[in-house]
Structure 1
Amino acid sequence: MSAKKELKQAYKEMQFRKGVFQLRNKRNNKVFIGSTMDLDRAWNSLRIQLMSGSHANEALQRDWQLQQGEDFIYEIVEVLQERDEPQTDYKQEIKTLEKLVMMELEPYGDKGYHQQRAGR
Structure 2
Amino acid sequence: MTTSTPARSRAEQKREYREQPRRAGIYLIRNTVSGKLLLGSSMNLQGPLNRHRFMLSIGGHPNRALQADWQRLGPDAFEFTIADVVTPQDEEAGPQEDELWLLEQVWIEQTSPFGERGYNLHPRIRDA
TM-score normalised by length of structure 2: 0.68
Alignment of 1:39-118 (within 5 A): 39-82=45-88, 83-84=90-91, 86=93, 90-115=96-121
How many residue pairs get aligned? The number is 112
Q: Which runs of 5+ in 1 are unaligned?
A: none
Q: What's the secondary structure of 1:70's corresponding residue?
A: helix
CA 11–113 in structure 1, closer or farther in 2 if over 3 Å, else same: closer
Q: Which runs of 5+ in 2 are unaligned?
A: 1-10, 124-128
User: Residue 77 of structure 1: CA displacement?
Assistant: 1.4
TM-score normalised by length of structure 1: 0.72
Deviations 1:69-116 (A, max 9, x none): 221001221100133464x77345434422321122111222111236
CA 12–72 in structure 1, closer or farther in 2 if over 3 Å, else same: closer
Q: Distance in 2 between matches of 1:11 and 1:64?
A: 29
CA RMSD of aligned residues (A): 2.8
Q: Distance in 2 between matches of 1:92 and 1:54?
A: 32
CA 110–46 in structure 1, closer or farther in 2 if over 3 Å, else same: same
Q: Distance in 2 between matches of 1:109 and 1:28?
A: 13
Q: Give the counterpart letter for 1:44 in structure 2.
A: N
Deviations 1:5-39 (A, max 9, x none): 9x84x665532221001010011000100112222
Q: What's the secondary structure of 1:94's corresponding residue?
A: helix
Q: Distance in 2 between matches of 1:112 and 1:84?
A: 34
Matched, 1:27 2:63: no
Q: Distance in 2 between matches of 1:113 and 1:100?
A: 18
